């Protein structure tokens, strides 16, 4: 097994013991990036020299720490790369747009600071949908990232480069953002584990904003254990972000190995207006049978109308995004791609009454969802994306009138969870007939990420989907 095939936790533990060199691992990642970047276009700005220098230093620090019996950070020497939306002082942060092509922040995001404190390295910045808007992976300015399972197909967005790079074994993990599914969709379409945490679990200080009320940051990884380690590194309250929660953190890694026997998983009696592909439905059914074999009880639940939640989520997102972008829309309108511009400008004409209604109804809908679903089970299981990854050409529709239909096809099961603010974990669960990954998501109570990791870890310990990699 090559160094790039190791899971993040395997790599981190090996570096901590001195069995693996951070420099050798980083060199292996760089070689793979150089070979695959032309086909995948998942990086915006690789930083090989800086990463190698940091890796050499990490090896030296690691040797000194082991000699003194000192403990290293849980991510010490691990090369990562992230969606180009997290500020690093003195480094360009484009947000996937030409409007900020030369923007250099004067401070570092809390997320990047916490990862660095735990010893993680940065191999550069990753491609993304323009201003975090778009579930497909298209970017008119920098070109689309591509799905490594089939480069004609979409990697999903808006964290497109993160999904593509982690799946292709260029890096061992990545952070993206999730406002309507932008972590979980790339995770699903690329065969990865992706977490949208509870609103307020991770600080958003120093990240490119889209929707103040719905934005979340989350990890994309190959395994559930890797995901838990990354969440543990960055989660928790932050004085720089007053929206972060004071809710105590759990031992997320330990949760991955807990026995799920006696837990309950809810399944919807109906998927409503969202049509599920036969391959996805079959994989979800097989996952439910596996859980039954582990002693998990499967219960049917009446899920409240998801169409209403999708509509309210859209109102909130577009109103808040238009507020952020209003000045640029007036002064630099032509620097937006047509689809992104259309989605933003709709927010300029939405009545304030509809926006306030969208915000005030969240508490009601969360209570209704809790009573109807989460009071009856530990987690709800449903598809992450109802279809395997479409081709990039199929999704290249610009600002045509078919845009709402396309958005529903990709975000119909993810967007409602952002509106509710609840955690959701996307899990790879098989492949379509054409060889593309498919996935389910586990939706839990607020701040019940540990419960999702227990269920996700149990599933992954019985399957090998996460070990498979694209040619």
Question: Tell me: the pLDDT tens digits for 61-113?
Answer: 999 999 999 999 999 999 999 999 999 999 999 999 999 999 999 999 999 99
User: Could you write out the three-class secondary structure of the chain?
Assistant: CCHHHCCHHHHHHHHHHCCCCHHHHHHHHHHHHHHHHHHHCCEEEECHHHHHHHHHHHHHHHHHHHHHCCCCCCCCCCEEEEECCECCCCCCCCCCCCCCCCCCCCCCCHHHHHHHHCCCEEEEEECCCHHHCCCCCCCCCCCCCCCCCCCCECCCCCCHHHHHHHHCCCCCCEEEECCCCCCHHHHHHHCCEEEECCCCCECCCCECCCCCCCCCEEEEECCHHHHHHHHHHHECCECCECCCCCCCCCCHHHHCCCCCCCCEEEEECCCCCCCCCHHHHHHHHHHHHHHHHCCCEEEEECCCCHHHHHHHHHHHHHHHHHHHHHHHHHHCHHHCCHHHHHHHHHCCCCCHHHHHHHHHHHHHHHHHHHHHHHCCCCEEEEECCCCCCCEHHHHCCCCCCCHHHHHHHHHCCCHHHHHHCCCEEEEEEEECCCCCEEEEEEECCCCCHHHHHHHHHHHHHHCCHHHCCCC
pLDDT of 400 > 80? The answer is yes
Sorting pLDDT into bands at 50, 70 and 90, what band is 398?
Answer: confident
Sign of the CA dihedral with 397 first, then 403, 409, and 413 last? positive
Q: How far is CA 446 from CA 172, 252, 280, 311, 452, in A?
A: 28, 15, 27, 22, 11
pLDDT of 1 > 80? The answer is no
Give the residue-averaged pLDDT of 178-195.
Answer: 98
450: domain CATH number is: 3.90.1300.10
- Give the residue numbers spanning the domain of 157: 3-467
Q: Which pLDDT value is given to residue 397? A: 87
pLDDT of 471 > 90? The answer is no
Give yes or no: 83 in active site: yes
pTM: 0.98
- Of 10, 257, 219, 6, the closest CA to residue 115 belongs to 219
Give yes or no: 158 in active site: yes
Model confidence pLDDT, tens digit, residues 193-251: 999 999 999 999 999 999 999 999 999 999 999 999 999 999 999 999 999 999 999 99
- Out of 7, 21, 83, 196, the active site residue is 83
Total number of domains constituting the chain? 1
- Out of 113, 158, 160, 232, the active site residue is 158
- Out of 182, 313, 424, 426, the active site residue is 182
Contact (CB, 8 A) for 76 and 11: no
Give yes or no: 71 in active site: no
């Amino acid at each position: 097994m090559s160094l790039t095939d190791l899971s993040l936790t395997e790599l981190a533990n090996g570096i901590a013991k001195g069995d693996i060199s951070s420099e050798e691992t980083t060199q292996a990642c760089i070689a793979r990036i150089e070979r695959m970047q032309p086909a995948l276009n998942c990086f915006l700005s690789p930083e090989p020299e800086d990463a190698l220098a940091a890796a050499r230093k990490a090896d030296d620090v690691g040797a000194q720490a082991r000699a003194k019996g000192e403990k290293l950070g849980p991510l010490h020497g691990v090369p990562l790369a992230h969606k180009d939306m997290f500020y690093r002082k003195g480094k360009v942060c484009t947000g996937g747009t030409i409007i900020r092509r030369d923007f250099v922040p004067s401070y570092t995001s809390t997320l990047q600071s916490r990862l660095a404190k735990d010893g993680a390295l940065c191999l550069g910045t990753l491609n993304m949908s323009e201003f975090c808007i778009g579930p497909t992976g298209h970017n008119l300015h920098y070109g689309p990232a591509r799905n490594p399972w089939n480069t004609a197909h979409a990697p999903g967005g808006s964290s497109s480069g993160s999904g593509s790079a982690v799946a292709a074994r260029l890096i061992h993990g990545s952070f993206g953002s999730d406002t309507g599914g932008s972590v979980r969709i790339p995770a699903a379409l690329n065969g990865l584990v992706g977490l949208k945490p509870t609103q307020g679990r991770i600080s958003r200080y120093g990240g490119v904003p889209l929707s103040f009320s719905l934005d979340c940051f989350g990890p994309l990884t190959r395994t559930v254990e890797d995901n838990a380690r990354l969440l543990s590194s960055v989660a928790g309250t932050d004085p720089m972000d007053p929206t972060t929660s004071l809710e105590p953190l759990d031992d997320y890694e330990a949760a991955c190995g807990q026995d799920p026997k006696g837990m309950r998983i809810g399944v919807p009696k109906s998927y409503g207006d969202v049509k599920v592909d036969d391959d996805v439905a079959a994989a979800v059914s097989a996952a439910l049978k596996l859980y039954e074999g582990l002693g998990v009880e499967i219960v049917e639940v009446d899920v409240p109308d998801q169409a209403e939640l999708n509509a309210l989520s859209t109102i909130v997102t577009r109103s808040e995004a238009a507020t952020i972008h209003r000045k640029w829309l007036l002064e630099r309108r032509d620097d937006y791609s047509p689809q992104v511009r259309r989605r933003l400008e709709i927010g300029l004409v939405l009545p304030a009454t509809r926006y306030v209604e969208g915000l005030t109804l969240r508490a009601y809908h969360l209570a209704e969802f809790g009573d109807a679903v989460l009071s009856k089970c530990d987690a709800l299981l449903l598809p992450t994306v109802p279809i395997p990854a479409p081709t990039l050409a199929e999704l290249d529709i610009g600002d045509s009138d078919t845009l709402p239909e396309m958005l529903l096809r990709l975000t119909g099961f993810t967007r409602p969870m952002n509106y509710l603010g609840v955690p959701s974990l996307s899990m790879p669960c098989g492949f379509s007939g054409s060889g593309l990954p498919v996935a389910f998501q586990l939706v839990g109570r607020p701040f019940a990420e540990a419960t999702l990791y227990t269920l996700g870890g149990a599933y992954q310990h019985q399957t090998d989907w996460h070990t498979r990699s694209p040619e």
